[in-house]
Amino acid sequence: MSTIEAIILGIVQGITEFLPISSTGHVTLTGKLMNLISNENPEKWTSFLAIIQLGTLLAVLIYFWKDIINIFRDFIIENINRRKTFSDQSLNSKLGWLIILGSIPIFTLGILFKELIEGPLTKNLYVITFSILFFAALLALAEKIASFKKEMKDISVKDALLIGLAQVFSLVPGASRSGVTMTGGMFVGLNREAAARFSFLISIPAVFASGLFQLSEALSFLDSSMIESLVIATIFSALSGYLAIDFLLKFLKKRSTFIFVYYRVLLGILIIVLLFSNIINP
């Protein structure tokens, strides 16, 4: 992998991780177009993606560092130092609980389906294309029927669990973690900005665990010649990811997510054309 290819993959990963358009779909398509994915050794590509995802985690941590510190501080104070009932806790402390509870489904099912997640289906463009189109339809449905009345302070335990269940679908290649959690947030009544903000916060435990658990295993599949490419791709995924977060939160204050729905449909059609033209392999 060349330096330019690593930079391109990092930028694609960072931007598409946070926009609801599927990072797996884009990075896999990019990797196939650059002939970087080997069907004989799918673990190598999965390992590469797992590590550069840590760059997008860094982007979230930097962008929301004040929120994260406040949530952690108030959670410790109000649950350990000066124990309060959940109803009497501050918004930050409640958000700590909501993030924990909302992360339970992805952790449970992520462990159960680990082998499937890391298998060849995660690189299959037919699976990815179907997922891109299907979850585009769900996002469009959420836009049509959502009330958009709730803000961050209105998120209930039930809402967090439902959004957490929605995050499970991010295990399906092509779904988009931000896309499915934002869709879940809108279905429970959150306004677009709140849905996106909670989506980013609830992604932190899952992305951190995924990267951490796979790091040592991933390095065993990657040779020393790829270390430089990994570092470069991870740095650029962090930089582009930070910009993508900032863009999306500002964008959703005034606009709907339909532009991303249309984009996903066009992307799905493009991949189908490329597949049937034999320009790329599934």
pLDDT (tens digit per residue) in 79-105: 988 888 888 999 999 999 999 999 999
3 state SS of 150: strand
Contact by Cβ (8 Å): 258, 84: no
Q: DSSP for 76-142?
A: HIIIIIS---GGGS-HHHHHHHHHHHHHHHHHHHHHHTHHHHTSGGGG-HHHHHHHHHHHHHHHHHH
Q: Which two tokens stand for residue 244?
A: 């993508």
Q: How far apart are CA 5 and CA 26, in angstroms?
A: 14
Residue 279: phi and psi, rounded to 5, are -75, -35
Give the count of alpha carbons within 13 A of 278, CB side only: 0
User: Which of 217, 141, 229, 218 shows the shortest CA–CA distance to 186?
Assistant: 141
Specify the pLDDT at position 222: 62
The alpha carbon dihedral of 151, 265, 42, 115 has a sign of: positive
Statement: residue 225 has pLDDT above 70: no
Contact by Cβ (8 Å): 102, 164: yes
Lowest mean pLDDT among 218-227, 233-242, 246-255: 218-227
Contacts of 31-35 spanning 24+ positions with Cβ under 8 A: 32/123, 32/125, 32/280, 32/281, 33/280, 34/5, 34/8
Q: Which two tokens stand for residue 81?
A: 């130092």
pLDDT (tens digit per residue) in 109-167: 766 665 555 555 566 788 889 999 999 999 999 999 999 999 999 999 999 999 999 99
Statement: residue 59 has pLDDT above 70: yes
Specify the pLDDT at position 68: 95
User: Which of 117, 257, 233 shows the shortest CA–CA distance to 184?
Assistant: 257
User: Which of 5, 30, 1, 55 shows the shortest CA–CA distance to 236?
Assistant: 55
